[in-house]
Amino acid sequence: MRLYDTWSRSLVELPEPPGPVRMYFCGPTVYARAHIGNARPFVVGMWLRAWLRANGYDAELVHNITDINDKIYDAAPGASAELAARATQWYLDDTGDLGLGMPDHLPRATDSVPAIVAFIEELIAHGHAYESGGDVYFSVASHPEYGRLSGQRPDQVEQGEEPTALKRDPRDFALWKTNKPATEDTWWDSPWGRGRPGWHIECSVMAEQIYGPAFEIHGGGLDLVFPHHENEVAQSHALGHPFAQIWAHNGMLRFTGEKMSKSTGNVATIRDALEQWGSETILVFFLTASWRKPIDYSEETMRQAAARRDTLRNAFTLEPAPVEEERWRAFVVTLDDDFDTPAALAVLHEWATVGQLELLRRGLAIFGLESLAEREEAPPEVRDLAERRARARTERDFETSDRLRDELGALGWEMRDEPGGGYMLVRRA
RNA sequence: GGCGCCUUGGCCGAGUGGUUAGGCAGCGGCCUGCAAAGCCGUUUACAGCGGUUCGACUCCGCUAGGCGCCUCCA
């Protein structure tokens, strides 16, 4: 299997099974309900893990929770820890309801502070960082490789608006920030006084705490390439750690519906999407685009995803054809080639058309969509209505028949007539 | 100003130097009491302009439009 790697800007072949393939995908900063775009790295990470495991890999996924951050302080003055805890639970609930299971590890920044302090001390000892007024900064000039991941030219980087008096070089970034009592109600002790870690160092440390200094895949949104991942790789490489072999960056989700825009802050949360469309439609939606490309979230694109979901589910009401195991190969080819889910989806549709239901079920299961293969048993009152309608039809009392069909519809059930008076009851999503 | 990405038929989205994925929607038909589901058929696609080539949607250049990032947005 090969995957596109941002570092080398090329497709990189994964080692042969069983690997291992250790993956670290950047998770959310917990200060509010995560929006649907935040679900993409989670979904991609979980799908990759499932696919790798199905192919005999020893695959593992770490997804971190950033629970120390300015946004959290801003959102809940005086109660930031409580908000972070609550928002962490929201995220776990929301992603859990996607039905993909959970990553192997969900480390919190707040649990890693001693390790972060130790990592920073080592950077200082090696001359890659310096203390300044209670803050500690990474010295970009000490690391000539800086900028390689993102391709940014340090001399062209736009300067931030923050006063940089404490930095030796405006490009330097914070590893540790001294506590500001007026706005920050959490802090940790360190050799440089009370403070808190910077964002980038949290991820370097959490990844290495679990995997050690080298692992296979580091994932996250394309918007994190610079500065977040550039800084992570600088911190770890500066200490001679190999860190990630492959950098996998997922494309951004765009809100293109009329009612939504990120600038107005009016965006759908994962919870909103779950309530409006359900997990199956969300997963099919993510399947329709390559993981590296942008994907548009709108009423129209979601409606289409829902229609696709129905098409796939309807396949299971048909007579299955004898399993042709060799057809599985077509699916493997698509996913082993940079995890091309749109192509894989086309294969699933092909199987649906020709009645390869066992393969279809197995393929859907990779993406957490095995529920599409399940038929829900109708409750007694629904079966009773259906029987009455069947009788009315037999007696050619179509007025009663149509009325009963409407009643079934109101209960969320669809009655599909078959030749010879038989019928099938199908749950409408 | 810098780094990078994208532009395929009504919509979404693969793909290849010459044989045109897939889905949704639309239209016609079969089936049905009528539907639904399914099946069959169907709708002059590759932003524009140059160049390379026997031949480009596919390679190169330019233009236009869109998007991401530029120190704490997945």
The string of pLDDT tens digits covering residues A250-276 is 988 888 765 555 545 568 899 999 999
For CA atoms A18, A230, A146, A169, the dihedral sign is negative
Residue A360 CA distance to nucleotide B9 C1' (Å): 29
Looking at residue A22, the DSSP 8-state letter turns out to be E
pLDDT in tens, A391-424: 999 999 999 999 999 999 999 899 999 887 789 8
Residue A73 CA distance to nucleotide B57 C1' (Å): 52
In the structure encoding, which two tokens stand for residue A221, read together? Answer: 């949104």
pLDDT in tens, A226-242: 889 999 999 999 999 99
Residue A42 CA distance to nucleotide B28 C1' (Å): 44
- Give domain A2-250's CATH number out of 3.40.1360.10, 3.40.50.620, 3.60.20.10, 3.40.50.360: 3.40.50.620
Residue A3 CA distance to nucleotide B38 C1' (Å): 38
Kindly report which amino acid residue has its CA closest to the C1' atom of nucleotide B1. A156
Nearest nucleotide, C1' to the C-alpha of A162?
B71
- Cβ atoms of A220 and A228 closer than 8 Å: yes
In the block, residue with structure tokens 């949104």: A221
Nucleotides of B under 7 A from a protein CB: 1-6, 11-15, 21-25, 31-40, 67-74
Residue-by-residue pLDDT tens, chain A, 429 positions: 888 888 888 888 899 999 899 999 999 999 999 999 999 999 999 999 999 999 999 999 999 999 998 888 988 888 899 999 999 999 999 999 999 999 999 999 999 999 999 999 999 999 999 999 999 999 998 998 888 888 877 666 555 545 567 888 888 899 999 999 988 999 999 999 999 999 999 999 999 999 999 999 999 998 899 889 999 999 999 999 999 999 999 988 888 765 555 545 568 899 999 999 999 999 999 998 888 888 888 888 888 888 889 999 999 988 888 899 988 988 898 888 889 888 889 889 889 988 899 999 999 999 999 999 988 889 999 999 999 999 999 999 999 999 999 999 999 899 999 887 789 898 876
Name, in order, each residue with C-beta under 8 angstroms of A116's C-beta and a sequence gap of 6 or more: A109, A197, A201, A202, A205
Residue A172 CA distance to nucleotide B59 C1' (Å): 42
Nearest nucleotide, C1' to the C-alpha of A152?
B3
Residue A302 CA distance to nucleotide B25 C1' (Å): 13
Sheet holding A173-178, edge to edge: A129-132, A135-138, A173-178, A195-197
Sheet holding A21-25, edge to edge: A59-63, A21-25, A214-221, A243-250
Nearest nucleotide, C1' to the C-alpha of A220?
B74
Kindly report which amino acid residue has its CA closest to the C1' atom of nucleotide B15. A343
Domain boundaries, chain A: 2-250, 254-373, 380-427
